[in-house]
Amino acid sequence: MRIPLYTNTTRNKEAKKTMALVTSKNMFARAHAGHYAVGAFNVNNMEVIQGVCEALSEANAPGILQISKGARDFAGMPFLRGLMQTALEVYPNLELCVHLDHGPDFELAKACLDDPIFTSVMIDGSGLPFEENIALTKKVVDYAHSMSTPKVVEAELGRLGGIEEHVVVSEKDAFLTDPDEAVIFVEKSGCDSLALAIGTSHGAYKFKTEPVLAFDIIEEVSSRLPGYPLVMHGSSSVPEEFVNLCNKYGGQIPNAKGVPEAMITRAAKMGIDKVNIDTDIRLAITATLRQFFAEKPSEFDYRKYFAPARTAVKQMVLHKLNVLGCAGKAVQ
Ligand code: G3H
Ligand code: 13P
Ligand code: ZN
């Protein structure tokens, strides 16, 4: 994969003029009206940021790069901020939002809101009792909306199964979003978008048997909050091709199962405007590296394997943008 580079200063200045981060507000309004969804991709390092941006650029799709607390701990914000800024210079025409994924508390949400690189944050109070989740979310929303350049806030109601920020949510602790509560939650907290628990979970083991999603919840919330942006976490489809490659070359991820792509497209048509993807990126990279190491055991120039891993991320994201229906939908 070729990463475009600006070597000419005039062009660089031109790029700086046009680059701008946006919030997700306008992206979501168009996605809702057009019955498609915007992809939100978790990023932790340079190669993934490059792969995702290259795909967004090639497909002319709007996109969200999201940074979790884990990503901040791994790479550190100075590096992540620098990489994001560079991405904006290299891809000046991207319609891009940078978002905090699963903000655990007010302090981190505020720190990200105060950081110019973020235009959007998630405050995840889904583990709290209903009223406490509302109160925490409202506190973040009030802060974000009162900024001189207002930013946007995603919240979560209901509890996904799987692993969130290293806290394992067991199946018995997971519960689906109650549409009545969702309406009250949005009204009282003022959040700009809401993540629903509809049967997905984080990670590569989403279903023990046939995948089932609660489409009725999307339908119900959508009809009671017309035009309101809904979010689906845990949306990786865990492609068989990656799982098989991992397992063929020494991996041990048996019985991994994700959300079938047809279900993602259906959810997008029904009112899901943001679809979160992290696991599929991890699988694309791991499958590529495992195959490479097995086939070329004497190679130790890391560029030789990080380059195809980055290309695998790009190809996976390009495919996903078509599944979501957001290819060709960017506005500059
Ligand atoms: O929802 C969780 C995301 O996949 C981020 O995962 O906390 O390991 O960065 P992480
Ligand atoms: P996956 O684990 O399905 O990729 O979900 C990622 C996610 O929801 C990030 O917030
Ligand atoms: Zn999530």
pLDDT of 258-267, one tens digit each? 999 999 999 9
| Eight-class DSSP state of 178 | P
What ranges in 163-260 are assigned the alpha helix state H?
Answer: 179-189, 215-224, 240-248
Q: What pLDDT does 254 receive?
A: 96
Among 73, 101, 114, 124, the active-site one is 101
Pocket test for ligand 1, best of 100, 126, 168, 278 (most atoms within 8 A of CB): 278
Q: What pLDDT does 162 receive?
A: 55
User: Which residues are registered as beta bridge partners of 103?
Assistant: 123
Q: Which atom of ligand 1 is nearest to the CA of 44?
A: 9
101 lines ligand 2 (CB under 6 A): yes
User: Would you tell me the crossing angle of helices 179-189 and 130-145 to the nearest 10 degrees?
Assistant: 40
Whole-prediction pTM value? 0.94
What ranges in 91-129 are assigned the alpha helix state H?
Answer: 106-113
Active site residue 273: no
**Cα-to-centroid distance, 102 and ligand 2 (Å):** 10
Give the torsion through C-alpha atoms of 241, 244, 247, 252, to 10 deg.
Answer: 80
Q: How long is the chain?
A: 332
Q: What pLDDT does 332 receive?
A: 74
CA distances (Å), origin 227, targets 26, 46, 272: 12, 35, 10
**Residue showing tokens 């969804």:** 37
For the chain, domains (ranges, CATH) are 19-324 (3.20.20.70)
Q: How many CB atoms lie within 10 A of CB 267?
A: 24
Name every protein residue with a CB atom under 6 angstroms from any ligand 1 atom.
42, 68, 70-71, 101-102, 164-165, 202, 278
- Over residues 51-72, the pLDDT tens digits come to 999 999 999 999 999 999 999 9
Closest-CA residue to 43 (of 285, 223, 331, 251): 285
Q: What pLDDT does 160 receive?
A: 87
Q: What pLDDT does 172 receive?
A: 59
Q: Which residue ranges in the chain fall short of pLDDT 50?
A: 5-12, 14-18, 165-166
Q: What pLDDT does 197 receive?
A: 97
**Residue showing tokens 């979003």:** 177
Ligand nearest to the CA of 200: 2
Q: What pLDDT does 43 receive?
A: 98
- The Cα–Cα gap between 87 and 96 comes to 10
